[in-house]
Amino acid sequence: MNAQDEGQFLMTRTSRNPGSAGHMASGGGGTGVPGWLVLLLAVSTGLTVANLYYAQPLLSQLSAVFHIGEATAGALITVTQIGYVIGMLFLVPLGDRIEKRRLITILLSVTTVALVVAGLATNFPVLLVASLFSGATSVVAQILVPMAAGMAPDYSRGRVVGRVMSGLLTGILLSRTVSSLVSDVAGWRAVYLGSAALMAVLAVVLSRVLPRHAATTDLPYHHVLRSTVGFVRTHPVLLRRGLYQAAMFGAFSAFWTAISFVLTGPGYHYSAVGIAVFALVGAVGAAIAPLAGKWADHGLTRPVTGAAFAVAGISFAVAGFGQHHVIFLALAAILLDMAVQTSLITGQHAIYKLDPQARARINSAFIAIFFTGGAIGSAVGSLAYRAAGWSALCAFGGLLSAAALLYWLTERKTAPAQ
């Protein structure tokens, strides 16, 4: 059963069972996909992508435990994101080549082992290597999103993807809260070991509950990889959207990598619980995802994208001028998260139209491009903060947002609005 057949099957099953509307996720009626399945996909993406961010509020603690500097500790985030890019390039394209449920189960099993190694690490290099592997296999989130897009009919694809992606962003943001709280109660190792247990459970649940989603190509693996790169050349929209999000995610990663040092440093002296509460406030930004999907379904992709870049720039201005007031930092976090999420949803809405039979590969190229931006953003952000403080970090994030906005202004001249 291919993606389109499965989508038609799910629509037919839902239409034959009017009572199923009561089981839809909040606001999920009329999407053509059962609400329980949308909810499962959203939770699954959130749990898996959270593995990339558990370390962010732990950097100060890890710095003390392993006797390393702040910049070295920040490399943990960069390495994890590099692992994610590797996974996007070499593992996610297999979603078009291998039955997806089987691929997801294998990857989650490897993630479980990597997280156990991280939780038992006795030195920082071991933690780095384990994080590289856990980052690479946590790309399960980006196999599930194209699966959701394939299940949804054209008229509601933006809303379905938006709801699943709201789970992903919630996972990113709540991962910091959970990490802070768990480490405060049971230590940093419990964060990794607890996530390993969750991944093991998720592997079992998804292997039993997910519908079978057959491969859409029988190309050899090396041809699959080559075609993934080829899509970047043949689809200008894919490259443009990837670069948009690279700038946005670079700014996002820089902000959240440095903010833990700000809140634990002079002027705030926040505990792990304090950082957890701050991260929880930032999670409010996830609420924009379903709206962004709805706007995209109504043809507002281009103006909404430009507005997202402008809001991101404003968020760094707020963060820079209000660095001594936590309310302004929290407002900046909410605005930035909303902007990044909106840009991501509109971008995915655009690229999923390009080739329905190659969504995994197209998504692979898209995410690899922008996660490269995220890795660079976290690395440069750490260096900027160490060299010149929070003001330099905010200037860097503001420049990335401005660059995306300037590039967006050329869109009408070089390509149709997407």
Return d(Cα 193, Cα 197) in angstroms, integer.
6
pLDDT given for residue 313 in this prediction? 95
Amino acid present at 32 = G
Number of Cβ atoms within 10 Å of the Cβ of 48 = 29
pLDDT given for residue 14 in this prediction? 37
Distances (CA, A) of 258 to 61, 207, 238, 264, 398: 14, 38, 30, 10, 15
Residue 69: CA atoms inside 13 Å, Cβ hemisphere, count?
A: 6
For residue 228, how far is the Cα from the chain centroid?
20
318 φ, ψ (degrees, to nearest 5): -60, -45
Nearest residue to 95 via CA among 156, 141, 46, 130: 141
DSSP three-state, residue 25: coil
pLDDT given for residue 30 in this prediction? 59
pLDDT given for residue 24 in this prediction? 36
Return d(Cα 153, Cα 351) in angstroms, integer.
15
pLDDT given for residue 309 in this prediction? 95
Nearest residue to 288 via CA among 223, 219, 335: 335
Burial level of 17, CB count in 10 A (0-12/13-18/19+)? Answer: exposed
Which CATH code is given to the segment(s) 31-414? 1.20.1250.20
Compute and round to an integer the Cα radius of gyration of the chain: 20
- Which stretches does DSSP call E strand in 42-124? none
Return d(Cα 415, Cα 357) in angstroms, integer.
23
pLDDT given for residue 412 in this prediction? 67
Amino acid present at 396 = F
pLDDT given for residue 110 in this prediction? 96
pLDDT given for residue 315 in this prediction? 95
As a whole number of angstroms, the longest Cα–Cα distance in the chain is 62
Write out the chain's pLDDT in tens, 418 residues.
433 444 433 333 333 333 333 333 334 455 677 778 888 988 999 999 999 889 888 888 888 888 888 778 888 888 998 898 888 888 888 888 888 889 999 999 999 999 999 999 999 999 999 999 999 999 998 888 878 877 777 777 777 877 887 788 778 778 878 888 898 889 999 999 999 999 999 999 999 988 887 777 788 888 888 888 888 888 999 999 999 999 999 999 889 878 878 888 787 888 767 877 887 777 777 677 678 778 887 888 889 999 999 999 999 999 998 888 889 999 999 999 889 889 988 888 888 888 877 877 888 888 888 878 887 888 888 888 888 889 999 999 999 999 999 999 998 644 444 5
pLDDT given for residue 348 in this prediction? 85
pLDDT given for residue 108 in this prediction? 96
DSSP string, 200-257: HHHHHHHHHHSPP---S----HHHHHHHHHHHHHH-HHHHHHHHHHHHHHHHHHHHHH
**Per-domain boundaries in the chain:** 31-414
